[in-house]
A and B are shown apart, each in its own frame.
Chain A
């Protein structure tokens, strides 16, 4: 079984207090902040490794990032992936979820054979949760999100548990497919010292736009329909909405609010 895991390097949340807004471009300055593997992507990789242990096959990580992301990709190899594909090119800069999904989908097509593509439900920084489903749409294959369990029934057929509001569903779905995982799916393994040494011997294969047959208007800023009108850092994080007055009315409002948020 060939499993492709999408790994995104994201700025380490422990250092987010150092994030600053560039007043000229209106974008966040990420330099100098160390990266980690997006936590849900790590869980996706762990799920892939567990599947490889049960069913055999290979695990390939796929990442689209600037060159500074190398150490994070090496970490993915140390965790146990067999090969890392690194998509990097200044032409990719500024890509939104759609352009990113297009570029990654094109790279996956270049790998030709794949049974399962695994992603994390969302990233710590952009948190759009769009990429896994959009990659599936580009490749014309089925997808499921919020996955908490993956079982191979027989060759090419999976039974997958996917979370829905206040519950879950069990779905039968065939390869090739895309699954994005929720945080409940597993606890990723520790990277051992032996793993670190072995990871150093594995390949990080770099592909730029020359290696992929991409349609130029569909990548980078040009290929990103979503644009930022403006960006501001929240000073007071909380909404601070205060209700006063009639007890039974407030009780009703509160109950209704909780209901609409999905708690009852």
Chain B
């Protein structure tokens, strides 16, 4: 095994999870100026061939495949044992995983097993002059950013938030597949997954909602207000409003967000046709991620959002809702 950077290729229901590919892309970006190579690490049982080809097509220099019947279902203890031995045998300098449920868990155990440092939930990665991995990590509820590194231990590990890096481009595959044999006993698998449930969104209070789509005065009419509801239902979220839509009767009093309404802390907030007045903004300041859609490029909300789309919601929302529904059906 030649690669200096290893990236865990997480799979779910037989398909590669995007964050593993995003990290592969970023790893390649970091590796090449340093003269390094990148390997994707695939762990599981059967159905791996197509996935290996996919990983090669995204540019992996190597795809390390560990295939064993007892690895067919994820178990943190056995996976950490297997990967721990692999890492000790081949000594990569960097090991990256997505900060998903699986990746966070596996990465933590693996780092402890290897007695190495892991930077968790990163939102940025750099390679220093001395070829040390610098991870950008938020702390204190996101108010503080730190750059963490582990100069004395190897591999340097990090888990990275999905969606931070872009998907790499597909290209002509030039890498190779490296299958690895491992020894595993049934006692090594220390828990059994009995059932997996996919949950749809449920009715709840606005303050507890994780996804909120809010509309403002800019929506303009009761008919157009339905577009807000459509987007919310497509994302399994709830509908919120500023004061004017409530006054107009498009929304109810208990949907109002702001100083004299609800204070919300969703993971995702999308504000449509909302200018960004303080009254409303204090109600959403604790949202993890704020997206704004507004026709007016000078709207205040664009100074206080994570992602702003300057455009007419009537031209964007229908298409967006449709694409979201299609993606969810897959």
- Residues of chain A touching chain B, judged by Cβ–Cβ distance below 8 Å, are 13, 16, 19, 28, 96-98, 101, 124-130, 132-134, 136-138, 141-146, 159, 162-174, 224-234, 237-244, 247-248, 250-252, 254-255, 257-264
Give B231 Cβ to nearest chain A Cβ, in Å.
10
The answer on a CB contact under 8 Å between B316 and A171 is no
Taking CB atoms, residues of chain B closer than 8 Å to A171 are 191-194
Instruction: Select from chain B the residue with minimum beta-carbon distance to A131.
Output: B108
Q: Which of B54-62, B168-176, B214-222, B299-307 contacts A (4 or more CB under 8 A)?
A: B299-307
Taking CB atoms, residues of chain B closer than 8 Å to A164 are 101-102, 196
The answer on a CB contact under 8 Å between A137 and B113 is yes
> Counting CB contacts under 8 A, is B310 at the interface?
yes
Give A207 Cβ to nearest chain B Cβ, in Å.
21
Other A-B contacts than A229-B147, A234-B138, A247-B311, 6 sampled, CB-CB below 8 A, are: A130-B111, A133-B108, A137-B112, A169-B195, A170-B194, A263-B324
Assess A19 versus B140: contact at CB under 8 Å? Given A98-B112, A242-B308, A261-B289.
yes
Assess A226 versus B197: contact at CB under 8 Å? Given A124-B141, A130-B120, A172-B192.
no
Q: In B119-155, which residues have CB < 8 Å from any A CB?
A: 119-121, 134, 138-153
Taking CB atoms, residues of chain B closer than 8 Å to A129 are 104, 108, 120-121
Give B92 Cβ to nearest chain A Cβ, in Å.
16
Taking CB atoms, residues of chain B closer than 8 Å to A124 are 140-141
Give A47 Cβ to nearest chain B Cβ, in Å.
18
Task: Identify A168's interface contact among B118, B199, B291, B303, CB under 8 A.
Answer: B199
Taking CB atoms, residues of chain B closer than 8 Å to A145 are 101, 104-105
In terms of DSSP, what is the predominant structure of the interface of chain A?
A: mixed
Instruction: Select from chain A the residue with minimum beta-carbon distance to B128.
Output: A229
The answer on a CB contact under 8 Å between A264 and B327 is yes
Contact with A along B83-124 (1 / 0, CB 8 A): 000000000000000001110110011011101111111000
> Counting CB contacts under 8 A, is B198 at the interface?
yes
Interface size on B, residues (CB 8 A): 83
The answer on a CB contact under 8 Å between A264 and B112 is no
Instruction: Select from chain A the residue with minimum beta-carbon distance to B77.
Output: A142
Task: Identify B120's interface contact among A128, A138, A237, CB under 8 A.
Answer: A128
Taking CB atoms, residues of chain B closer than 8 Å to A237 are 142-143
- Residues of chain B touching chain A, judged by Cβ–Cβ distance below 8 Å, are 12, 18-19, 22, 75-77, 80, 100-102, 104-105, 108-109, 111-113, 115-121, 134, 138-153, 162-163, 167, 190-199, 211, 234-235, 268, 289-291, 297, 302-312, 315-316, 319-320, 323-325, 327-328
In terms of DSSP, what is the predominant structure of the interface of chain B?
A: mixed
A-B contact pairs, 10 of them (CB 8 A): A19-B143, A129-B108, A130-B112, A133-B104, A142-B77, A159-B194, A170-B197, A229-B148, A254-B307, A259-B18
What is the bound-complex CA distance between A238 and B281, given in angstroms? 13
The answer on a CB contact under 8 Å between B235 and A257 is no
The answer on a CB contact under 8 Å between B306 and A101 is no
The answer on a CB contact under 8 Å between B101 and A263 is no
Instruction: Select from chain A the residue with minimum beta-carbon distance to B189.
Output: A142
Closest 6 interchain pairs by CB?
A225-B117, A133-B108, A226-B117, A142-B190, A134-B112, A137-B112
Taking CB atoms, residues of chain A closer than 8 Å to B116 are 98, 225
Give A179 Cβ to nearest chain B Cβ, in Å.
11
Task: Identify B144's interface contact among A159, A231, A252, CB under 8 A.
Answer: A231
The answer on a CB contact under 8 Å between A167 and B307 is no
Task: Identify B100's interface contact among A143, A162, A165, A264, CB under 8 A.
Answer: A165
What is the bound-complex CA distance between A52 and B166, given in angstroms? 47
Assess A239 versus B307: contact at CB under 8 Å? Given A228-B147, A247-B315.
yes
The answer on a CB contact under 8 Å between A232 and B144 is yes
What is the bound-complex CA distance between A143 and B107, given in angstroms? 13
Instruction: Select from chain B the residue with minimum beta-carbon distance to A260.
Output: B163
Give A171 Cβ to nearest chain B Cβ, in Å.
5
Assess A251 versus B108: contact at CB under 8 Å? Given A130-B120, A238-B305, A260-B18.
no
The answer on a CB contact under 8 Å between B141 and A137 is no
The answer on a CB contact under 8 Å between A227 and B151 is yes
What is the bound-complex CA distance between A151 and B312, given in angstroms? 51
The answer on a CB contact under 8 Å between A16 and B141 is yes
Assess A136 versus B109: contact at CB under 8 Å? Given A225-B115, A240-B303, A247-B315.
yes
What is the bound-complex CA distance between A251 and B113, given in angstroms? 44
What is the bound-complex CA distance between A146 and B104, given in angstroms? 11
Instruction: Select from chain B the residue with minimum beta-carbon distance to A27.
Output: B146
Taking CB atoms, residues of chain A closer than 8 Å to B150 are 225-227
Assess A170 versus B22: contact at CB under 8 Å? Given A125-B139, A263-B268.
no
The answer on a CB contact under 8 Å between A243 and B307 is yes
Taking CB atoms, residues of chain B closer than 8 Å to A97 are 108, 118, 120
What is the bound-complex CA distance between A40 and B63, given in angstroms? 38
What is the bound-complex CA distance between A13 and B265, given in angstroms? 15
Taking CB atoms, residues of chain A closer than 8 Å to B117 are 96, 98, 224-227
Give B236 Cβ to nearest chain A Cβ, in Å.
8
The answer on a CB contact under 8 Å between A251 and B320 is yes
Taking CB atoms, residues of chain A closer than 8 Å to B304 are 238, 240
What is the bound-complex CA distance between A98 and B156, given in angstroms? 13
The answer on a CB contact under 8 Å between B101 and A165 is yes
What is the bound-complex CA distance between A101 and B115, given in angstroms? 11
Assess A230 versus B143: contact at CB under 8 Å? Given A165-B100, A174-B190, A240-B308.
no
